[in-house]
Structure 1
Amino acid sequence: MRVIQAEPAGTPVPDSTAERRPLVRRTEVVAFALVALLVIVIVAALYVAKPFFLPIVMAFVVGTMLSPAAGLMERFKIPRPLAAALIVAVVFGIVAFIVALISAPVVEWSNRLPELGSMLKDKLHSFDRPIAMWHQLQSSLGGIDGKAGTEIQFPKIDWVQPTYEFLSPTLTEILLFLATLVLFIASWKDLRRGLVMTFASRETRLRALRILNEIEGSLGSYLLTVTLINLGYGTATGIICALAGMPNPAALGALAATLNFFPIIGPFVMFVILTVVGIVSFPTLGGGLVAPLAFVGLTFVEGHFVTPTIIGRRLSLNALAVFIALAFWTWLWGPMGGFLASPLLIMALVVKEHVMPDDAPHLPGSEPEAN
């Protein structure tokens, strides 16, 4: 009978001589670091050179959206340069009309800001007691002094000029955008052909052509569909404001249609505007909240039923991805960046579907089981 000697407790196990592959290789870390540095450099360049890149990118995206219209006009024997000039003129006229419709009441209300601020403060005295209780709770938890600032405090109007500078582009940017837009639409066919022919193999050329065609079709249908939805959305908002007795219902409807091009943030800003206008314009708080609450119902129906039914199946965009893209591009380029967020996300999804299709090899252990 053989006796096996027991090893004392705590004896280390001998090292295995088998070679194990590292979880992350050094080359992968270097590649990831280089890509991260490249992204940081690109973002920094886009942020610093915003006056140049924003009009150019805006013209490329909008020009891709309007290219199908130029192709349609070309079928009716209209030269493409002339079609590009006509399309840009019509779009610029529509934008100028909307700006003129909105700017008149905005200028009128901005001149009455001190008066409107005092009126709003007087009508919100009913919230002084809850605010005082909130300050007392903060003071009991070691926050601010509960005796100070128990009333609603409104910010000073020093933000008006910085906000105007943030929202309004310079004349140079507008001219650069218009010139680039006309030239892009007029020469889009040649640009697309040249971009496709830069690739060597036939398969790669066909893939690039499919990507460009799908981007053009997706952005064109997105612009047309969203524009029609927003026109109906703005019309419904104007009708709600007119029935509720709000001032300037046409301007409020046009503003709602314009802000709805900015997903998530636009409807929220419109709700705040309607709430402030309603509280100031009506003698009672309940009367001033009729139009904002009706607008909330309209936004719920539009966001959960109308838009998903019309474009949800064709352009299924994840809400989190839309919000992150909106926040990033708004931070980078302001309101125009927010407008470009969804089109740029659509372009990225189209490229992803063609470069990394769904039928690509799956990760180990994730293959679908055979029936």
Structure 2
Amino acid sequence: MFRWRRSPFGLGASFPRLALGKENKTPAPLWILAGTAVFAVAAYAAPVLIPLVAAVMLYYLFAPLKRRLDRNGVNRLFIATAAPAGIVVVLFAGFTFLAGPVSGWLEKAPAMVARLQQQADALMRPVEKMREATGQVEKIALPDGGQPGPPEVTVKPRSLLERVFGGLSDFVVSIAATLMLLFYLLARASPPERALIGFLDGFAARRRAWRAVREAEADLGRYLQTLALINAAVGAGLAAAFHFIGLPGGIVLGAMVGLLNFIPLLGPVASVILTLVAGLASFESFGAALIAPGIVAAVHTFETNFATPAILGRRLTLDPFLVVVALLLGTWLWGIGGALLSVPVLLFTVAAWRAYVLRAPPKALEAAKESAAAKAAAPDAPAAPVATASAVVPPVGAA
């Protein structure tokens, strides 16, 4: 698995290089142990790894623009400063866009809560009667003439306000760490994959690593474009549905739901709560107020479990089963942050699997061969040149 090579620093030391060629005979149990160790470390070091992985994914999102600006002679500090600043502006604009309608609905909260309390009291009367009857039965069943035993000791949990502010502070720290790491990655003269390529043994292994990174980088851009189109379609469809049922501010609410849909797990839950508050503030009947959140829950269930995995699998040549498994594993390991990063990490994992395990040719080469074969099969079609590996992949030393 490893080969020891002389250090390039001229100090007489040596360092290992990965030997991933055909001579690699690493037994399967060792790979299983390595995978288990990776999952254990990922779960334990989540506060450190989540900002690091997020910064790396954002770097490869901006990497094509960075290379274009470098070729045009633009200073690296420009993109290194503009990218984090743009992310901050987008986040601030999103919170500002959400704050206006939410504050208007919160002003109606006292009347809404009073109306909801009246409806809840009518629904809870049978439950209260059952609770009183159960208490009388428990009192009869107590020993010592119905005298209660010693009081139970219970630990008082943190209040909702404490949990909200604690989670908000952790979120702000993670965002700040991610943006700081992104700045330093974009300010580097050489791309981060060059450090990985330097540890690989042989030109063929390094070329496969370069191809895998470039394919995953292109897939990452297509993934974000696809996700933006899906969320725009969800927001537009829900805005039309809200307008149809007569919900005031339905267009703005649909846009808010589309923006929240970028956040896995928490976004759909926040959308349902938001539409429930809007329905309670706009309709007198409790049943009518449940129509909007019911529509949102149904649309999110279909989109999350069926539409998004199928569309991503078709556009990114990913198995929808792998997309769902990646979402489950990411959520289990890192929560909402893991759900956000699961598909981008899956793209890089699949690219590495194609390059080193399946030994598959680059996607661009496969597409060129298929196009040439289709043109050759067509009648009276001129022969198209088939792309070669040297034409698809530039030298390893290129930035």
Please give the range of the TM-score, normalised by the shorter of the 2 chains.
Answer: 0.5 to 0.7
2:280 and 2:286 in contact (8 A); partners too: yes
| Superposition deviation, residue 62 in structure 1 | 1.7
* 2:69 maps to 1:68: no
C-alpha spacing 1:327/1:104, structure 2 compared with 1 (3 Å): farther
- 2:227 equivalent in structure 1: 226
1:56 and 1:177 in contact (8 A); partners too: yes
- 1:89 equivalent in structure 2: 85
| Superposition deviation, residue 215 in structure 1 | 1.4
Q: Deviations over 1:310-368 (max 9, x none)?
A: 54313255555444543443454443232112222222222223232287xxxxxxxxx
Listed as ranges, the gaps of 5+ residues in structure 2 are: 1-25, 135-156, 361-399
- 2:214 equivalent in structure 1: 213
| Superposition deviation, residue 65 in structure 1 | 1.9
| Superposition deviation, residue 118 in structure 1 | 4.4
The worse-fitting range, judged by mean Cα deviation, of 29-38 and 72-81 is 29-38
| Superposition deviation, residue 196 in structure 1 | 1.7
Within 5 A, what are the aligned runs for 1:309-348? 311-317=312-318, 321-348=322-349
Q: CA–CA distance in 2 between the matches of 1:96 and 1:351?
A: 36
1:64 and 1:185 in contact (8 A); partners too: no
SS at match of 1:169: helix
The worse-fitting range, judged by mean Cα deviation, of 263-272 and 303-312 is 303-312
- 1:253 equivalent in structure 2: 254
Letter of the 1:89 partner, please give it.
A
SS at match of 1:313: helix
Q: CA–CA distance in 2 between the matches of 1:255 and 1:157?
A: 30
Listed as ranges, the gaps of 5+ residues in structure 1 are: 1-26, 140-155, 360-371
* 2:118 maps to 1:122: yes
Q: CA–CA distance in 1 between the matches of 2:211 and 2:83?
A: 25
| Superposition deviation, residue 210 in structure 1 | 1.2
2:260 and 2:268 in contact (8 A); partners too: yes
Letter of the 1:216 partner, please give it.
E
Q: CA–CA distance in 2 between the matches of 1:216 and 1:32?
A: 26
| Superposition deviation, residue 181 in structure 1 | 0.9
- 1:99 equivalent in structure 2: 95
| Superposition deviation, residue 213 in structure 1 | 0.8
Q: CA–CA distance in 2 between the matches of 1:98 and 1:106?
A: 13
Q: CA–CA distance in 2 between the matches of 1:205 and 1:345?
A: 21
- 2:55 equivalent in structure 1: 59
Q: CA–CA distance in 1 between the matches of 2:276 and 2:103?
A: 19
- 1:163 equivalent in structure 2: 164
C-alpha spacing 1:187/1:340, structure 2 compared with 1 (3 Å): same
Q: What is the percentage of aligned positions where both structures have the same residue?
A: 27
- 1:42 equivalent in structure 2: 41
1:279 and 1:285 in contact (8 A); partners too: yes
| Superposition deviation, residue 226 in structure 1 | 1.2
Aligned length: 313
The worse-fitting range, judged by mean Cα deviation, of 257-266 and 174-183 is 257-266
TM-score relative to the length of structure 2: 0.63
C-alpha spacing 1:101/1:322, structure 2 compared with 1 (3 Å): same
C-alpha spacing 1:239/1:124, structure 2 compared with 1 (3 Å): farther
Q: CA–CA distance in 1 between the matches of 2:328 and 2:104?
A: 31
- 1:150 equivalent in structure 2: none
C-alpha spacing 1:205/1:293, structure 2 compared with 1 (3 Å): same
C-alpha spacing 1:53/1:33, structure 2 compared with 1 (3 Å): closer
SS at match of 2:191: helix
Q: Deviations over 1:49-91 (max 9, x none)?
A: x1x3322221111221222233344455533431332233223
2:264 and 2:336 in contact (8 A); partners too: no
C-alpha spacing 1:206/1:97, structure 2 compared with 1 (3 Å): same
1:211 and 1:354 in contact (8 A); partners too: yes
Q: CA–CA distance in 2 between the matches of 1:96 and 1:348?
A: 32
Q: CA–CA distance in 2 between the matches of 1:341 and 1:194?
A: 23
| Superposition deviation, residue 178 in structure 1 | 1.5
Letter of the 1:315 partner, please give it.
L
1:166 and 1:334 in contact (8 A); partners too: no
- 1:204 equivalent in structure 2: 205
Q: CA–CA distance in 2 between the matches of 1:285 and 1:214?
A: 51
SS at match of 1:200: coil
SS at match of 2:315: coil
TM-score relative to the length of structure 1: 0.67
Q: CA–CA distance in 2 between the matches of 1:78 and 1:114?
A: 56
SS at match of 2:170: coil
- 2:268 equivalent in structure 1: 267
Letter of the 1:326 partner, please give it.
L
Q: CA–CA distance in 1 between the matches of 2:269 and 2:114?
A: 24
2:226 and 2:312 in contact (8 A); partners too: yes
Q: CA–CA distance in 1 between the matches of 2:256 and 2:318?
A: 25
